[in-house]
């Protein structure tokens, strides 16, 4: 009896392994997997993603059948997980003939395949995220009691972190894979297909039935451009958190026009906890983990600067009060000189001033300059005027002193 040496014969199974080892070596995506260790146990991520990562790690370990099993079972529940379909294609094709790259599809654009490869890499990078309970997110210096959670977007890890406000160090709750703008971070202009970098909050909710299928299970516009963006002349609008179309489980890491796109499942889970008009979102290049004592010392520094500002305002010593303002300060069209003149005039007409500051939110602004955003309720009363308002101040470190660079109603 002739003994055809086909697939799965001892010799050619070896070549199958070699083919995928070549894939692992050649394809940037699979190569990433070579250096990975299994994800930590405390992570809260979506089940389909966890299955996909397990499959990719199986490929690294030459466990192709197990990889295909994981892919098949995740596709049962999520048939529109395109990256999973691509990996499935590779695993099947490797059984039919040797392959030497990831994504061997004929047809489709090179851009599409590249997008899915990027997603594979992003998902693997995400599998390495390991939130340390003993570390704190530096951006979240202080949250007011009413704020239930805060979001931090780490663009290099394509990840949106969710933190719960505990009154002390924010506690990690979950993290989600996200898509950002095609051209990356730091939006400057309308239509530049970038996602802004900065401190924002969720301003409203657009329900599913008011939107086309493109936005999936809902949309949550954020406050871009914020006061600091406007001061710097940045424009554009319509930066939303939103879901994916019905036929798409997830999109590549850089694919939107600037919006932050989550899977519908993840968006729905997040939406339950969002506080419209308040939940803060810090969008950064990368997450900044720090020791809680460092975060606390920065928080204390800023809080005492704000307290000194409040105290000097109450003292009606305009010079002392105005020393808290930065040289390039602006507020609603006033520069520092105009603002100073106005304050001198107003304070002179008062016999007393009382200022109470409550519900303080203190967030560090991502970027090169050291800036913090303070948002609080200001309860102002004086001999001739009383007023209660939400105020927002942008503090900048200038000559090693925190000074206000913008101030206005929140």
| Omega prior to 225 cis, within 30 of 0 | yes
The DSSP call for residue 314 is H
Is residue 105 within 8 Å of residue 117, measured between CB atoms?
no
Q: Where are the beta strands (DSSP E) in 291-410?
A: 325-331, 334-335, 353-365, 371-382, 386-398, 401-409
Beta bridge partners of 398: 401
Non-local (6+) Cβ contacts of 117 within 8 A are 27, 28, 29, 102, 103
Nearer to other proteins, 109 or 166 (CB): 109
Nearer to other proteins, 2 or 133 (CB): 2
Closest CB 3 distance from other proteins, rounded Å: 5
Q: b/e string for 45-61 if b means 16 or more Cβ within 10 A? A: bbebbbbbbbbbbbbbe
Closest CB 76 distance from other proteins, rounded Å: 11
d(CA 403, CA 326): 5
Nearer to other proteins, 80 or 308 (CB): 80
d(CA 38, CA 317): 60
Nearer to other proteins, 82 or 310 (CB): 82
Q: Is 333 helix (H, G, I), strand (E, B) or coil?
A: coil
Closest CB 61 distance from other proteins, rounded Å: 21
Closest CB 48 distance from other proteins, rounded Å: 15
Nearer to other proteins, 111 or 307 (CB): 111
Closest CB 35 distance from other proteins, rounded Å: 25
Nearer to other proteins, 91 or 160 (CB): 91
Closest CB 195 distance from other proteins, rounded Å: 24
Binding interface with other proteins (CB under 8 A): 1-4, 6-8, 79-80, 82-83, 85-86, 88-93, 95-97, 103-109, 112-113, 116, 247
């Amino acid at each position: 009896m002739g003994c055809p040496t086909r697939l799965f014969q001892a010799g050619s199974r070896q070549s199958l392994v070699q083919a995928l080892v070549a894939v692992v070596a050649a394809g940037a995506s699979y190569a990433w997997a070579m250096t990975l260790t299994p994800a930590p146990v405390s992570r809260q991520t979506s089940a389909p993603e966890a299955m996909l990562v397990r499959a990719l790690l199986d490929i690294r370990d030459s466990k192709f059948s197990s990889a295909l099993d994981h892919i098949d079972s995740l596709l049962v529940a999520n048939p529109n997980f395109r990256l999973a379909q691509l990996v499935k294609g590779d695993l099947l094709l490797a059984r039919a003939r040797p392959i030497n790259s990831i994504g061997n599809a004929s047809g489709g654009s090179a851009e599409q395949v590249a997008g899915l490869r990027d997603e594979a890499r992003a998902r693997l990078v995400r599998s390495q995220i390991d939130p340390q309970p003993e570390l704190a997110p530096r951006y979240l210096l202080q949250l007011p009691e009413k704020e239930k959670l805060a979001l931090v977007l780490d663009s290099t890890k394509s990840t949106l972190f969710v933190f719960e406000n505990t009154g002390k160090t924010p506690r990690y709750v979950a993290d989600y894979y996200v898509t950002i703008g095609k051209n990356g971070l730091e939006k400057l202009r309308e239509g530049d297909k970038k996602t802004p970098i900065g401190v924002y909050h969720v301003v409203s909710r657009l329900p599913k039935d008011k939107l086309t299928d493109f936005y999936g299970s809902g949309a949550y516009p954020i406050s871009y451009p914020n006061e600091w963006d406007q001061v710097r002349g940045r424009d554009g609008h319509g930066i939303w958190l939103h879901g994916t179309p019905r036929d798409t489980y997830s999109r590549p890491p850089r694919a939107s026009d600037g919006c932050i796109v989550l899977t519908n499942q993840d968006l729905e889970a997040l939406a339950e906890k969002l506080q419209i008009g308040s939940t803060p979102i810090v969008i950064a290049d990368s997450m900044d983990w720090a020791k809680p004592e460092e975060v606390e010392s920065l928080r204390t520094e800023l809080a005492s600067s704000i307290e000194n500002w409040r105290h000097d305002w109450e003292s009606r010593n305009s010079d002392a009060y105005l020393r808290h303002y930065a040289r390039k300060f602006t507020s609603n069209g006033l520069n520092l000189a105009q603002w100073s003149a106005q304050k001198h005039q107003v304070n002179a007409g008062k016999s007393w001033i009382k200022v109470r500051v409550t519900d303080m939110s203190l967030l560090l602004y991502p970027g090169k300059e050291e800036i913090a955003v303070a948002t609080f309720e200001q309860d102002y009363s004086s001999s001739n005027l009383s007023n209660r308002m939400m105020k927002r101040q942008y503090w900048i470190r200038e000559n090693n002193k925190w000074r206000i660079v913008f101030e206005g109603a929140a």
